[in-house]
């Protein structure tokens, strides 16, 4: 049984290569299983290197925004994915999926075209049902900060009814972003 557990990261990486999505950040605990995800990323890079015969170029695109603004639908439309979407279905945590983009997009990121795009679909923020919960602001800031910091590109969606993400969440996220940039520059 222990040997089969060691195969999970390889199986998860293969699942991503085959077009599946998996939970990166747990929607219940708000945590990432770093040991497991590190192993998955090592395996994923190995699969992609074997396929390309060189180090893969991966663009990370994250999407964040107010709940029920169509984040998953936008990803499905832009990248031809099949994330679950329907009335009442909400992403929990952060889901990730890998899309081959080398022959699809005609753009350059840095100096070269990316071979793959790693998509990060985040749980919606600013849910009015939870506005009075003690963890409401923490959740909104954490999810949005994760999306901004993890992506090479971050798409932010808002609706016309709730400006909380623009007025309250983004200023906090930008403070964290500046702190991280300052720390990395040293």
Per-residue pLDDT of 59-97, as tens digits, reads 899 888 887 777 888 887 887 777 766 666 677 778 899
User: Could you give the 3-state DSSP secondary structure of residue 129?
Assistant: helix
Average pLDDT taken over every residue of the chain: 82
* H or E element in which residue 103 lies: none
Instruction: Give the predicted TM-score (pTM) of the model.
Output: 0.84
Alpha carbon of 11 to those of 22, 39, 117, 131: distances in Å? 11, 11, 20, 39
Residue-wise pLDDT tens digits, 130-141: 889 898 888 888
Residue 59 pairs with which residues in a beta bridge? 117
- The rounded Cα 55 to chain-centroid distance in angstroms is 21
Interval 18-60: pLDDT, tens: 989 898 988 778 888 999 999 999 999 999 999 999 999 998 9
| Percent of the chain residues topping a pLDDT of 70 | 86
pLDDT at 169 > cutoff 90: no
Going by their DSSP bridges, the two strands 94-100 and 116-122 should be labelled as: antiparallel
């Amino acid at each position: 049984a222990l040997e089969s557990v060691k195969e999970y990261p390889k199986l998860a990486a293969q699942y991503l290569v085959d077009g599946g999505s998996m939970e990166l950040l747990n929607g219940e605990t708000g945590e990432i299983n770093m040991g497991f995800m590190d192993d998955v990323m090592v395996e994923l890079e190995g699969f992609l290197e074997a396929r390309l015969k060189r180090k893969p170029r991966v663009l990370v695109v994250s999407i964040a925004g107010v709940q029920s603004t169509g984040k998953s639908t936008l990803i499905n439309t832009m990248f031809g994915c099949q994330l679950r979407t329907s009335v009442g279905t909400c992403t929990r945590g952060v889901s990730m999926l890998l899309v081959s983009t080398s022959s699809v997009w005609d753009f350059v990121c840095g100096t070269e075209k990316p071979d793959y795009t790693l998509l990060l679909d985040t749980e919606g923020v600013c849910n009015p049902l939870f506005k009075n919960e003690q963890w409401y602001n923490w959740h909104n800031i954490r999810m949005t900060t994760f999306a901004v910091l993890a992506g090479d590109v971050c798409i932010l969606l808002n609706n016309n009814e709730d400006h909380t993400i623009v007025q309250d969440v983004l200023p906090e996220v930008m403070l964290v972003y500046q702190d991280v940039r300052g720390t990395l520059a040293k």
